[in-house]
Chains A and B, each alone.
Chain A
């Protein structure tokens, strides 16, 4: 099946710091998605990217669809305690939605 390489696997940051995480694939995809999972809950969609090179923001979150269509990154600015959780990238193509292994974010107040 398709493999997504998501990094870093985990991050510990101070409140107020900026965060950056990325996701890469060996295959080309037409849609990249970023989800957040709060502890004990199902993931929720944060940002959807449909066009290569597209840069999209959602509040303090910014995500970009790589120009090669093989990668994407997610930035979080001025982190706050409620940013804690697992962030997943996902891709959509001719196969069911595939998720990366996630980046676990911990925010130290």
Chain B
């Protein structure tokens, strides 16, 4: 069966520090992977998606970047965090553009 892992679960980082969130998928190959952000009490904002190694599409220009160094690995990064980067970050695997399988999420607080 397929499993999606995301870590860390929580993170508190100072303004201006770098960020690296990792997402990995097991049990499938060449997955379509997505990063979403959810601000407190708000909806899901699509940040990046990737259909393969080295292929990244950005939905919203911002202080973040994404990379797909391996087939089943998707990384969300920032060189310098802003207060507005705080939120709940979710990695998702969406096979066939229908059902989305989400990781457990990372709650990021920038202080």
Confirm or deny: A61 has a beta carbon within 8 angstroms of a beta carbon on chain B: no
Residues of chain B with a CB closer than 8 A to A102's CB: 42-44
Interface size, B (range): 20 to 34
Give chain B nearest CB distance to A38 CB in angstroms. Answer: 11
CB distance from A106 to the nearest CB of B (A): 12
A33 vs B59: C-alpha distance when bound (angstroms): 21
Query: Interface SS of chain A: helix, strand, loop or mixed?
Result: strand
Q: Is A84 an interface residue (CB 8 A)?
A: no
Listed stretches B11-19, B63-71, B72-80, B97-105; interface member: B97-105
Considering the complex, give the chain B residue whose CB is closest to the CB of A4: B43
A6 cross-chain contacts in B, Cβ below 8 A: 43
Which residues, 52 to 68 on A, are CB-close (under 8 Å) to B? Answer: none
A100 contact from B41, B43, B59, Cβ within 8 A: B43
Residues in B50-102 with C-beta less than 8 Å from chain A: 57, 59, 90, 92, 94, 97-100, 102
| A48/B100 in contact, CB under 8 A | no
Interface string of A12-50 (1 = CB under 8 A from B): 000000000000000000010101000011111100100
**Which A-chain residue is minimally distant from B51 (CB atoms)?**
A96
State the B residues within 8 Å of A (CB). Answer: 34, 36, 41-44, 46, 49, 57, 59, 90, 92, 94, 97-100, 102-105, 107
A-B contact pairs, 11 of them (CB 8 A): A1-B59, A35-B100, A42-B105, A45-B100, A48-B98, A92-B97, A96-B94, A97-B94, A99-B46, A101-B42, A104-B41
